[in-house]
Structure 1
Amino acid sequence: MYQQSFDALGGSTAWTALAAVLPLTVTFVLIGAGRLRSHQAVGAGLLGAAAVAAGYGMPPGQVLSAAAEGAAYGLVPLTWIVVNALWIHRMTVDSGHFAVLRRSFAALSADRRVQALVIAFCLGSLLEALAGFGTPVALAAAMLIALGFAPFKAVTLALVANAATAAYGAMGTPVVTLGRVTGLPADELGEVIGRQAPLVTLLVPFVLVWLTDRRRGLREAWEPALVCGVAAGTAQVTASALLPVELVGLVSALTALAAVLVWARLRHRPPVGRRPVPRLIAGGSAQAAQDMLDRARVLARDGWRGALSACLPYLIIVAVFGVAQTPWVHALLHRATVGFPWPGLRLRDWQGGVPAQSVFTLEPLAGGTLLLLAGLVGVAALRIRPGRALRAYRDVLHQLRHSVLTVCGVLAMAYVMGLSGQTAAIGHAVAATGGAMAALAPALGWLGTTVTGSATSANALFGSLQSAAAQATGLPVHLLAAANDAGGSLAKPISPQNLAIAAAVAELHGAEGRIFRSVVLHSAALLALLCLLVYLESTPLLSWLLP
């Protein structure tokens, strides 16, 4: 029986935690330097994690078993989600419906900065609230590319936007998980998160405008960015205080979408200056700019019926996931869930219990399966021939063949680190900082999501640790626990798992390092601001913000 320990290396907690950082350091240095393909960099990180686990005393057989479980989780549900999400998008493109959708967005606004807000932030937030995992990044990036954004710019926008939406993602699953591991009511935690996350929610639209068009974008498109951020942030604060956590993300996304659409309808003015509209931004070409103007002029040819048909696949996704989250349907689907101890794992966590990661949970009627159902309904609704749908599915499988290795490798490394106690060792070292824990609490959640790719997993890993640290230091328990979730969402852009998904969608194979370098500073800057906010909330200066 393997027992996790904070002092596994020579009885030193410092050395134990320092060694645990090695796999992450190796992975991000190799990805960031761009010297290796992503699956090679992740493979090196996995070897590092296995070596550290062996140094901790974990038996080799259990190390292999932990890696196998992580790889299996990479296949189901993550790869299953991405495959079906891209299949739906590919069908709309191949059938010509997405061309109509492009013209509809061009008629709404030919300004790509507004389109980035609508698709990356608003639509991405809606998909995150309903589905989570890699779904919003996959679909938002694909839609931006189809609208004429350069692939690299599109995935950068989709990843950064995801940082503002994951705190209440997947119908509040991260918050519900946090409540379970800490013993605190989920609705109370959600209300505290609603006093932290809106800071990021307010700033991210401005970051998206900056990424799309730099200084000119901020000068000309600050107004829709402000409308979007204020609407989403205000909705988060209000909904987190009045509604169940399962609805906060959904209400915030819909409010932001409605606000931007109303602004685009009533207040939009073409950019000033000498350059034509739309300006050559987001990596677009002169031809792409002219195409967007042409699409806006010929929208009348499509009519509202054509625009509605083009939106139908995405409306079906929202409807399917919305129905699936109603209490009685959710309970019915949940009956198919199967959980079992993963073979070959005999271990205890640092508290003497069974680690949650050692139990493999298979949800056959969730995530990717719901997307598959939505796709089949879309095939029927759009009258797409079965042969065309099958060819689209085959093309998606071919497109993702290299990315599956990266996703499975990332999860294998995460599970080896988690089950051997490396992740907990890092968390324990951070928790030992005493009063400074308030400033570092979001960073712990950020680290957890970086390793696992999931804010839910980060809360499961570090939620109880945050609670224990708060009690030991006299800090508010709700504050630190909530900070773990709010900070965890900010690591979504740099998680190797999401980087692999983004690169696969844009067919930027081997460009994960470049994508990582484009988003890491934004993620780190937002994290620093959140750390400052949480620290101030632990002092009389801003403690009044807490409910």
Structure 2
Amino acid sequence: MQQLSCLRGITGVTFTQNFTAVGNNLGLSTIVALIPILYFFWALAIKRMKGHIAGLTTLLLAIIIAVIAYKVPVGMAVMSATQGAVYGILPIGWIIIASVFLYKLTVKSGQFNIIRHSVLSITEDRRLQALLVAFSFGAFLEGAAGFGAPVAISAALLVGLGFNPLYAAGLCLIANTAPVAFGAIGAPVIAMEGPTGIPATEISKMIGRQLPFISVFIPFYLVFIMAGFKKTMEVLPAILVSGISFALSQYLSSNFLGPELPDIISSLVSLISLAVFLKFWKPKTIFRFSAEQEMASTATVKKQKEVHYTGGQIFKAWSPFILLTATITLWGIPQIKLALGGHYVGTNGILNVVNKIGHAFTFLPEVPFVHNKVFSKAGGAPIPAIYKLELLAAAGTAILIAAIITKFIVNMSWKNWVKTFGETLNEVKFPIITIAAVVGFAYVINVSGMSTTIGLALAKTGSHLFPFFSPFLGWIGVFVTGSDTSANVLFANLQKVTAQSIGMNPILALAANSSGGVTGKMISPQSIAVACAAVGLVGKESELFRFTIKHSLILVVIIGVIVWLQNSVLSFMIP
């Protein structure tokens, strides 16, 4: 303890987290810790503030509470917010900019008309288009890149096909539920192994025995939201092909291959299975939204069918997204990712060259007043804090490379290419502010200990109720941080310790955290901002939040019931 005191004296002002800071009472501390989160819900769902206003005021409120109630030094609270804001811009904001830019290039070059026609040639039915694009293709992007890319790209594609922007964004957020736990080449699952010591393969197996139930349900739920029960039953065969192929592949790959490939395999199997099935089966009626114009009349449909594109033209039109898939998949390979960030240690000559280049484009400055100044408990090790600026390793850079190659494929001048990039920056400036603010908010409540206070309160629900509520920890974690990976790092050890104390299998609790977290993704402020930016709904984040919140609550309750059953009557499902 004397050494710790000396260290604190040398390094300046330090802060030790106190999870019962208000009146030394967990209940009162929890109520205070919930204030910024409840305010944000109120600001979007009831007050209907614009996203960047809601985000900035929530951040300000969180800083005030952290300083006054949790006794965080002012400089530390402010600088932790800047750490979050920087992370919100890179890598998250960078993905949005690059994704929207790539989409705009396909539109401006006229290639998106061919993409639209190629999807319509498979099916003109909006229900089935949602399954192909939002569910299957979005899951593939989630598995390869994660962060905002799946929603940004798939939502933009749906809008281009003629979907209402709000519906397109909402459907893609809900569809993204199924793959999030294994997103970004399994990062959320792998992240739990370090702090808990439990092998990622075991956690992967358990998640793979929970999420397939949701994966089967999501395609049905998507179409039900769009069209109602009767119209959903009309395409039940296609829904079953889409959902069962995805769920079965998800179970097999997560249990026998590990956490890295379930999304990639499941999405491709689902996409191919549904596309092939639709070659032999068609719904009795073609469903379109009631608000759509008369372009869906018989004459127009006939006219559309008269247009023919060669295989080469279709391939060229899709090539930007094929390149996108290739680059983000390449960027997601662990060794390449390390090299691009300048962290590779090995004997591969090519990777060593890439590592040198990546190192030159990687900057890791310490966060002033925060780095090694925060202690999780008295006598504990200080928590490092750095601005992680991996310019080359960021997934957004992979997408930008795809956009540069696309410039040559579609034969666009540099002048128009740069002009389109400028237009993109102008379109997404407010969503980027929103994301920077809400990620800053997440960092403030993490540094202060407010997020752990909330977690400890939920852990007090006891042996009978905690299995049901354990997914809600993940749900809250993803809402706050915008990332299943971050939520798993935040609450994994708490889940493990609580589970052991009440006689619950810790593997089940860890899987519950990740599975519950996926249902919080659709209401996360970052996700909402990404979706709005992609479909041109900047400033209408509150409308999208109101659209997704009820579905998020329904799905997290379903996950809670599944976990409770697995803990009590279906314990044979635990590996």
TM-score range, shorter chain: over 0.9
Query: How do residues 163-174 of structure 1 correspond to structure 2 at under 5 angstroms?
Result: 163-174=177-188
| 1:141 correspondence with 2:150 | no
Q: Look up the SS of the partner of 2:323 in the other structure.
A: helix
Structure 2 CA distance for aligned equivalents of residues 373 and 433 of structure 1: 49
- The one-letter code sitting in structure 2 at the alignment partner of 1:190 is S
> Could you tell me how far 1:445 is from its partner in structure 2?
0.3
Matched, 1:423 2:451: yes
Q: CA deviation at 1:338?
A: 4.6
Among 19, 22, 40, the alignment partner of 1:27 is: 40
- Quote the offset at 1:278 in angstroms: 4.5
Comparing 232-241 and 336-345, the one that deviates more: 336-345
Give a deviation string over 1:387-424, Cα, whole Å, max 9, x none.
Answer: 22212111111111222221111111111111110001
CA change 1:56–1:114 in 2 (3 A) is same
Given the superposition, is the C-alpha separation of residues 441 and 291 from structure 1 closer, same or farther in structure 2, using an over 3 Å criterion?
A: farther
Contact 2:205 2:258 in 1 (8 A): no
Measure, in 1, the Cα distance between the counterparts of 2:332 and 2:118.
Answer: 29
Q: Which amino acid aligns with 1:284?
A: E
Deviation at 1:290? Answer: 6.0
- Answer yes or no: is the 8 Å Cα contact 2:327–2:402 preserved in 1: yes
d(CA) in 1 for partners of 2:257, 2:413:
43
User: What TM-score do you get using the length of structure 2 for normalisation?
Assistant: 0.90
Matched, 1:284 2:297: no
Pairwise CA distance, 1:256: 1.0
Question: Where does residue 274 of structure 1 map in the other structure?
Answer: none
Q: Quick check: which has more Rg, 1 or 2? A: 2
Q: Distance in 2 between matches of 1:482 and 1:292?
A: 50
User: Which runs of no fewer than 5 residues in structure 1 stay unpaired?
Assistant: 272-276
How has the CA–CA distance of structure 1 residues 181 and 29 changed in structure 2, closer, same or farther, with 3 Å as cutoff?
A: same
* Structure 2 match to 1:495: 524
Q: Deviations over 1:433-459 (max 9, x none)?
A: 221221111110000000011101101
Alignment partner, residue 367 of structure 2: 342
Question: What stretches of structure 1 move > 3 A for 4+ residues in a row?
Answer: 277-281, 288-292, 325-328, 336-341, 353-356
Letter in 2 for 1:510: G
Equivalent AA in structure 1 for residue 281 of structure 2: R
Give the alignment partner of residue 452 of structure 1, picking from 481, 487, 510: 481
Where does the alignment leave 5 or more consecutive residues of structure 2 unmatched?
A: 1-13, 343-357
**8 A Cα contact 2:170 2:548, kept in partner:** yes
Change (3 A) 1:392 1:292: farther
User: Could you say which residue in structure 2 is the equivalent of 1:91?
Assistant: 105
Matches within 5 A, 1:67-466: 67-271=81-285, 277-281=286-290, 283-287=291-295, 293-294=301-302, 296-300=304-308, 302-335=309-342, 336=358, 337-345=362-370, 346-350=373-377, 352-355=380-383, 358-364=385-391, 365-435=393-463, 436-466=465-495
The answer (yes or no) to whether the contact 1:45–1:413 under 8 Å persists in 2 is yes
Q: 2:564 aligns with which of 525, 535, 538?
A: 535
Q: Cα distance, 1:288 vs. partner?
A: 5.0
Aligned identity (percent) is 32
Pick closer, same or farther for the CA change 1:437–1:81 going to 2, 3 Å.
Answer: same
Q: Find the partner of 1:50 among 48, 59, 63.
A: 63
Query: How many Å separate the matches in 1 of 2:149 and 2:486?
Result: 17
| Contact 2:434–2:529 (Cα < 8 Å) also in 1 | yes
CA distance in 2, matches of 1:493, 1:353: 35
Cα displacement (A) at 1:18: 1.4
Contact map agreement 2:235 2:283 (CA 8 A) in 1: no
Secondary structure, aligned partner of 2:429: coil
Write the letter of the residue equivalent to 1:66. Answer: S
Task: Give 3-state SS (helix, strand or coil) of 2:310's partner.
Answer: helix
Q: Does structure 2 conserve the Cα–Cα contact (< 8 Å) formed by 1:503 and 1:511? A: yes
| SS of residue in 2 equivalent to 1:472 | helix
SS in 2 for 1:56: coil
Hey, what's the Cα distance between the residues in 2 that align with 1:299 and 1:102?
Answer: 12
AA in 1 matched with 2:135: F
CA root-mean-square deviation = 1.7
Deviations 1:182-213 (A, max 9, x none): 11111111111100111211111112112222
* Amino acid in structure 2 at the alignment position of 1:312: S
Residues 164 and 355 of structure 1, relative CA distance in 2, 3 Å threshold: farther
CA distance in 2, matches of 1:322, 1:474: 40
How many Å separate the matches in 2 of 1:377 and 1:438? 49
Do 1:279 and 1:289's aligned partners in 2 also have CA atoms closer than 8 Å?
no
Q: For the residues of structure 2 that align with 1:523 and 1:505, how far apart are their CA atoms?
A: 21
> How far, CA to CA, are the matches of 2:300 and 2:512 in structure 1?
42
Deviation at 1:425, TM superposition (A): 0.6
In structure 1, the residue matched to 2:346 is none
